[in-house]
Structure 1
Amino acid sequence: LDDQYATPRRDRPCGTFGGAGAVLAGDLALVWADDAFAEATAGSPAAAPAAAVWRSMRAELVAGQYLDLHAQATANRSAARALRSAVLKTALYSMERPLMLGATLAGGSPDVLAALAGAGRCAGLAFQLHDDLQGAFGDPAATGKPVGEDLREGRSTYLLAVARERCEAAGDRTGLRVLETVTGAPYTAGDEDVRRARDVLDQGGAR
């Protein structure tokens, strides 16, 4: 609902109906999700510990998304920060916390919860890093979104952060300027700008 300026998503066109409406719809969806979770777990002996996992997941998602937006607004685009954002908004939200929720409701032991948490975080982070690669180099027919979309949006991905740090370490000012062309002015980069940025990612070893 709050995916700003997206074009195709999941191989379907996205419509824009106003930022305020999207925020309100997102708030409503969160309220409904809380209601559904409370109703689904009512009466379960694991309701309280499961609710703690649920609350953590919500907070981590918002924190990760905020880090992502803050990085774009302030040019704080370190690889460590990008990785932290990926862990919070993807690894925890998509994999680790859902696994822990299921195991908690099923009465899983602490050892089971710890094992699932570790596996989920690794799988979730791998998913996000692969998605970053697909966003820059993927086939639109397979990804359902235009090639280089993350580059055009100036998204502060781990892939871009690593490429930037490699350029800085090598003293590659040309490469840095190419990356800044796409990340410094989101939604204004042309096809040639994206192609050159992809070359920097590839040739500099970030890919």
Structure 2
Amino acid sequence: MKIFSLVTALAAAALAAPNSALVARDARDSLELPGIDDKKLIGTILNAHWYWRRIHCAQDLQWNATLAAKAQEDIRKCSRDVEHLRGGSNLSGQGPSPKKYNDWVEMARAMVHGWHEEETFYDYSTRSSRNSNQVFHFTQLVWRDSSQLGCAVTDCSDVQGARYPGRIYCYYEPVGNNVAGNFMAENVWPPICADPSKAELETRFGF
């Protein structure tokens, strides 16, 4: 029930390469594409993580500028598909890319919340995926040991062959998704912790 109530509330409030290509994207940074030091983008991404991590009993994340810079470096390579280049990462893409600043921020918000939808396929009893569905975005999102986060968005529309050109890369430390031993059980808890208070939601989301 928590998923639907949050998504409904957020929807009401919303009104988660080649050098030449890098130069083109750098030029757009000052226009509509939010950079890794953009306070609204950072706050939106942290708040989206905060809600899900709260109900899954995970610690709050702190923004890490070094991780954000690394995410920006990697996302601007504009591979044909979104591509995991390191452990402890969550990635998503869409097409076409957003055109306006607020649309980029909304894309980031929607994608972070979208990672939690994989919980549907996660079996807490076996600590694994049901029917081989993707769950590692969800498990990294709520990984209890992770404490640092850095993310970047970019537009790969000017790179021939790039699919889903509107992209977000998020990097976490300590990295999650360690399937060895009992790490999954220790770090991926069901949503058994209390919902945020009304005051907390008002502070974070304005409602």
Instruction: Give the structure-1-normalised TM-score.
Output: 0.30
Q: Determine which structure has more spread, i.e. the larger CA radius of gyration.
A: 1
Instruction: Give the structure-2-normalised TM-score.
Output: 0.30
| Higher fraction of strand | 2
